[in-house]
Structure 1
Amino acid sequence: MNDPKKRKDARRALRSDGQLRQSQLVSTFGPGAMVDLVDRAVVIGGLEHWSYGAKGYVALDDPRLRRSLIPRLKALDPDLDLAREGYFRMAPEGDARNHHPSVGVRALEFPRWFVCQKCRRLARASEQFENKSGRYRHECAKNKWSSVVPVRFVAACKRGHLSDFPWIPFAHLGREGVCDRPELYLEERAIGDIARILVHCKNCDATTPMSKATVLPYNCNGDRPWLGGRAASEPCDQRSELLVRTASHAYFGQVVSALRLPDPEPDPLRQRLRDKDVWKAVQKVKTAEQLSMIAGLMEHVASAIGEAPAEKVLAAIRAENEATTATSERPLRSAEYDRLVHAPTEQPGAVPDRGVQFAAYRVPKPRIELPPGVGGLVVVPELREVRVQVSFSRFDSIGANLQGEYEFAGRKVKPTVLTLPTGNEKWLPAAEVRGEGVFVELDEKALSDWEKRDAVKERTKQLERAFGLDKRGEFPGIRFFLLHSLSHLLLTAVSLECGYAASAIRERIYCGQAEVDGPNMAAVMLTTGTTGSEGTLGGLVEEGRRIQHHLREAWDLGRLCSNDPVCAAHDPSSESSDRRTEGAACHGCLYIAECSCEWFNRFLDRALVVPTIGNDPELAFFRERP
């Protein structure tokens, strides 16, 4: 007979330890991120630990984004590469009602040190505590058991490596050697001051306050537990630093996104050759004889080729191979900007075809009111955006360039990878967002005249001085400050009436030179979307047609901040300033939810957009109310 208790234990063994949304595994909780569960803490496993089961993965391949990412991956590690197909994949989709160990993302227990909630005993879980039904507990006194929890302090370095905090040598810091039988306790006072947290060894009575952990005398050992423990360690020249597991700077994912742009004039023959089965058969064909033989043996290949001459088919195969293996590509934002500014004029009653990945229409100027300084409006009723995580860092975020791409080649300290470079996982985790957007283009002549104003030139020097003191990357230019600040003001104004919360709208800044010797980009796009299949309801596009109304609301929002005159008079270059990358900007006026901002609420100055208290009105691009 079947034992009911054994069946119950078997069901419990198959149960997953937690759930995350698929999109979260591409940013906030990607490989190498630490996650708190009910009774323990884990680190999300690398791509080797992602299992898709019999259903297989969902590919989100995008050749344009692949060609852009390959040289950046090579800059991280020469062994990193992407496969020819299936190189962008959605995270595994689990089933909450039918758990299976071969489907999902494996998480590894980390940290391995736990602390008793009653007696404060600090030790490795495997050495001191008992695991009962998946929970660790400690026998503080005879027949008196207490629960234990993961310790909240770990060690990490700026290259992203992660390891258990060196508790034993740290408890004996300043002493010669370590006692023969360390018995550690983590004593905490009621006050949250780190100086009141003590690591005490009862065996030798050594005590060290955690305040001394702000500067550790230990080198990083290069541990990468998300890739499989010490076997995946690598040499590291950085110092270990104290890190709180749940701190906001414990994980920064480098995510690159690109809009899905269909070919302007798709070649029907190349479209047919891209079929998975057809391409697998013809991708290595070089001669007409080889093509004829394969077409004679495989009916689906003959059907794809049709009556096309052999020379044309071979040329299409060569072109497709060159496009697939290319290692350089037009900058991501440049290609998008070009497609948006050359969007066809919107016709009355025009509706995008069902299932299209991208549809954009320029609204004719007679149909809308555009204030001075605004060059045009493009509505995007259908868009799909692919977001791909490339790497991650700890302690410091890494900013992308104005094209939304990461330049790893010139960095002294590079972020860490999601998979073993020498392994078999030649893909990256991705998510696809389906939604809509509004593209607002500024007038280039008005921008050039504004940049030549004396007040603007002086403000540029002030921001450049502050940027030099901050020593973080390159100065993005005064035009970017204007576009970014306008984007935040406009996003807040639109969110009040479009039906979407401000945190559900994202910005996309187009700034700088589109190509060498090409036109300058100067536009902002507000988008909203979801990773589900239902998309959006069209509210953002419809509100975009009332652009003048929303620009007026944005102008009113930026004129006065609740922290004025302190906010408006902020000088980022002063010695007392703690915000080197912002001018007149704070939580009362320009800061928005970080999920909506591409730049972590940096590079903002509303005085460049609208007149503000105590600043020269000549600074403002929109000096008069639109």
Structure 2
Amino acid sequence: MSEILTPEPASASEMLHDDEQVLDPLADVEEGAAKNRAKVGTARPSSLLYTYGPGAIMDLPGFSVMPAGLDDWEPIWKRREHIPTILEPRLLNVVRLHLGPQVDTLRRYPWQPKKGAMSKEGSDLGVPARVFPQWLRCTGCDFLGPLPRFSYTNTHPFRPDLAQFSHKSCPGRGGQKTGSTSRKRESPAVPAQHLLTCTNGHLDEFPYKLWVHRGGTCPKAENPDLKMRDANVGKSVGSTITCASCGAARGMAEAQGAIGREKIPQKCRGRHPHLNAFDAACDAQPALIMMGASNLWFSSTQRIIVMPRTDAEEKEALADKLRAELGVDQVQKFGEQIPVIRALATARDIDLTGVTDDDIAEAVADVLAPADSEEVRHEKLAKWDPVELLVPEWRYLQKPSLFPQQQNSSGLMVTEMQRGTRLHPRISRVVAVNQMKRVNAVLGFTRLDEMDRVNDLVSRLVKLTRNGKPAWVPATEDRGEGIFLQLDLDAVQAWEQEIRDSPLWEAHTLAHHNNFERRFSETAKVVDPGTRLPSPRYWLLHTFAHILIREMAMSCGYGAASLTERIYGWTETPEREGAAGLLICTAASDSEGTLGGLVALSEPTRLQGLVVSALRRAARCSSDPVCAMRTPRDPEDFLHGAACHCCTFASETSCEKANRFLDRRFVLNLPTAAGDTVPGFFGSVDAL
């Protein structure tokens, strides 16, 4: 677990309005005041990677926080002489391609295990965060105001969940009676959930004062108090903002929808709360968004399975070690003195066993080699395809002769399994992944619209640092196990050609085109939607993977949300051979991902029964015939066919495409809306 650290409330409000302030989440409060603890919560690394990373809003029991940008992580890591990193050149090169050559390391989240329950190791480490939104609403009197108008309490050393903001002078909704001497109570405050965002990834507080006064100021007070009252059932939708001084009132329902967008500010201020900064200019029109909206934050990540390295990759890894541990300046200073470089590397715990002086000299030359120009980098990025990360994994799995020579340092152990005699003949190979290691890295994030593919437009990624050029990015390392199934490539190719000529594929193609052009981002204006539509074999593999995940979860000991897919499905090109395989795996940052229950299902007798059971279960859905015949018709733009939550959909943690590109008719022979039958790859369920 990584701790979430937040600064004292007074400092927090200053930091959100003063670029000169430096985030110090562990600073003591003023002398004589009760000490408020820095820790406000904990989160798993996977959660910080995909759900609550920098720029996202994490809803805590008493308030909400936003993990800060990477600039503010530096003071946290400087509390340690050694910063733990993850060395994986293949993934680091992809990060550099997208964010620039200045990225030199993949860093773990600031965390240190404790030796005992009451020990304090790592208590000064954690992910820095800012309180956001900074407009709160009193639950006792509906007072709506900025953070400094509320009091903060977080004094219990072992109960960060008790941290909260409160309104000390709360009179209650009935107010104080004339002549009453009763004490005003202290009521907890909750975040005001209305925010403004834009397609460029900016996020700002909603201007409640301007809203209730319709763009003007209060005629009776320079800084009036506001109230936020929930609407009574049957009257209107949303809350109502009221000015306590002049009595002006306005419902938040007016700000919703296309008409409401014309009533809110038409110019974005370019605010990045996670960076405590504003961009110089933003030409996008803001839109109203709620704090808990699912499209408020989309992480952009890349992941690889660590493979045994070639000699060239080992040399590249040594160069990355020198760059990360010694720094370019020190390597340049002593680059011609190999013994000095060796001594410095040894002092930094870099293992140089078996490394010759020539190897070190090559690594030094690699570190000092000039980086590609921005023009060249962008040209390479435009040609880059995320499939390139999967190709080395696919090629390794095609060479069983390499399996006995596995390098334990890579964390990968795979075993070629015997095919069961009753396993469907179109499943050509089964490989048990006894152990695996997966590395995940953060590239950035987007708002309103998810990246269709990581190299759509780099400008769409919201920057992680104030200058937009991070020297490192957060990464996690997971361990797990899995099962790899490979389909008959010739059969897949023949089936795919038949599917491409079907009316069903034409309907999916049109729906994808409509969906692409209706997105919030500007991507559709410069990208051909056809280049973003996965091939029919991907739909087949993706659907089959979901069917297997649902079936495996009932017998492997892992929950369905713990199982994930990795699809190797692309057609042949001059640069690479075609692929048709899938990996069902589980991975966790600890030993929970290697309990053995999943890989045990690769045994011939168990697997062949599991596949038959999964296919038979997929042939029927409680929503049939509606589900089985679902086909998008213009102007519909949903990206799935015969698939729904009852039969095929998986949890967000399991699916790499957010339950898009699924259709059971590509797996089995099922009737379509027109009454005909699309040739399913595995044929009729009656023949299983």
Shorter-chain TM-score: which interval? 0.7 to 0.9
Counterpart in the other structure of 1:437: 482
Counterpart in the other structure of 2:413: 359
Counterpart in the other structure of 2:390: 333
Deviation, 1:305, is 9.0
Counterpart in the other structure of 1:390: 443
Distance (whole Å) between structure 1 residues aligned to residue 658 and residue 71 of structure 2: 31
Deviation, 1:552, is 0.9
For residue 209 of structure 1, what is the amino acid of its counterpart? Answer: G
**Which residue of 219, 222, 241 corresponds with 2:270?**
222
Q: 5 Å matches for 1:406-421?
A: 406-409=454-457, 414-421=460-467
Secondary structure at the aligned position of 2:490 is classed as helix
Cα RMSD between the aligned structures? 3.9
Deviation, 1:172, is 2.1
Q: Indicate whether 1:36 and 2:82 are aligned.
A: no
Secondary structure at the aligned position of 1:428 is classed as strand
The answer as to whether partners of 2:323 and 2:367 remain within 8 angstroms in 1 is no
The answer as to whether partners of 2:319 and 2:366 remain within 8 angstroms in 1 is no
Q: Indicate whether 1:135 and 2:165 are aligned.
A: yes
Distance (whole Å) between structure 2 residues aligned to residue 514 and residue 61 of structure 1: 31
Counterpart in the other structure of 1:16: 39
The answer as to whether partners of 1:439 and 1:525 remain within 8 angstroms in 2 is yes
Q: Indicate whether 1:559 and 2:619 are aligned.
A: yes
Aligned CA distance change for structure 1 residues 242 and 346 (closer, same or farther; 3 Å): same
Deviation, 1:340, is 1.6
Deviation, 1:564, is 0.4
The answer as to whether partners of 1:44 and 1:226 remain within 8 angstroms in 2 is yes
Secondary structure at the aligned position of 1:331 is classed as helix
Aligned CA distance change for structure 1 residues 194 and 279 (closer, same or farther; 3 Å): same
Distance (whole Å) between structure 2 residues aligned to residue 254 and residue 116 of structure 1: 36
Deviation, 1:320, is 7.5
Counterpart in the other structure of 1:344: 401
The answer as to whether partners of 2:338 and 2:361 remain within 8 angstroms in 1 is no
Distance (whole Å) between structure 1 residues aligned to residue 547 and residue 616 of structure 2: 9
Deviation, 1:234, is 3.9
Q: 5 Å matches for 1:463-474?
A: 463-471=508-516, 473=529, 474=532
Deviation, 1:543, is 0.5
Counterpart in the other structure of 2:200: 159
Secondary structure at the aligned position of 1:111 is classed as coil
Aligned CA distance change for structure 1 residues 281 and 431 (closer, same or farther; 3 Å): closer
Secondary structure at the aligned position of 2:460 is classed as coil
Deviation, 1:239, is 1.7
Secondary structure at the aligned position of 1:592 is classed as coil
Secondary structure at the aligned position of 1:440 is classed as strand
Aligned CA distance change for structure 1 residues 278 and 154 (closer, same or farther; 3 Å): closer
Distance (whole Å) between structure 2 residues aligned to residue 567 and residue 612 of structure 1: 10
For residue 658 of structure 2, what is the amino acid of its counterpart? Answer: F
**Which residue of 126, 132, 139 corresponds with 1:104?**
126
Counterpart in the other structure of 2:586: 528
The answer as to whether partners of 1:437 and 1:540 remain within 8 angstroms in 2 is yes
Secondary structure at the aligned position of 2:65 is classed as strand
Secondary structure at the aligned position of 1:258 is classed as strand
Counterpart in the other structure of 2:14: none
Aligned CA distance change for structure 1 residues 545 and 417 (closer, same or farther; 3 Å): farther
Deviation, 1:621, is 0.7
Deviation, 1:461, is 0.9
TM-score by length of 2: 0.77
The answer as to whether partners of 2:569 and 2:579 remain within 8 angstroms in 1 is yes
Distance (whole Å) between structure 2 residues aligned to residue 67 and residue 130 of structure 1: 47
Q: Indicate whether 1:49 and 2:91 are aligned.
A: no
The answer as to whether partners of 1:42 and 1:107 remain within 8 angstroms in 2 is yes
Secondary structure at the aligned position of 2:271 is classed as coil
Please identify, of 325-334 and 18-27, the stretch whose mean Cα deviation from structure 2 is larger: 325-334
For residue 88 of structure 1, what is the amino acid of its counterpart? Answer: R
Counterpart in the other structure of 1:186: 228
The answer as to whether partners of 1:573 and 1:580 remain within 8 angstroms in 2 is no
The answer as to whether partners of 1:567 and 1:586 remain within 8 angstroms in 2 is yes
Deviation, 1:551, is 1.9
Aligned CA distance change for structure 1 residues 194 and 254 (closer, same or farther; 3 Å): farther
The answer as to whether partners of 2:499 and 2:536 remain within 8 angstroms in 1 is no
> Residues 96-151 of structure 1: CA distance to partner in whole angstroms, max 9, x if unpaired?
8538784212221222212222221222232x445567632133245322413221
TM-score by length of 1: 0.84
> Residues 77-104 of structure 1: CA distance to partner in whole angstroms, max 9, x if unpaired?
xxxx5443x3333343476853878421
Distance (whole Å) between structure 1 residues aligned to residue 216 and residue 325 of structure 2: 67
Counterpart in the other structure of 1:25: 48
Distance (whole Å) between structure 1 residues aligned to residue 341 and residue 652 of structure 2: 54
Distance (whole Å) between structure 2 residues aligned to residue 468 and residue 299 of structure 1: 53
Identity %: 25
User: Which consecutive residues of structure 1, in runs of 5 or more, have no partner in the other structure?
Assistant: 1-5, 75-80, 401-405
For residue 83 of structure 2, what is the amino acid of its counterpart? Answer: Y
Counterpart in the other structure of 2:452: 399
Distance (whole Å) between structure 1 residues aligned to residue 310 and residue 537 of structure 2: 30
For residue 96 of structure 2, what is the amino acid of its counterpart? Answer: I
Q: Indicate whether 1:537 and 2:595 are aligned.
A: yes
The answer as to whether partners of 2:305 and 2:438 remain within 8 angstroms in 1 is yes
The answer as to whether partners of 1:93 and 1:104 remain within 8 angstroms in 2 is no
Deviation, 1:198, is 1.3
> Residues 267-313 of structure 1: CA distance to partner in whole angstroms, max 9, x if unpaired?
98888887659984999989x99457758988969x959896x7676
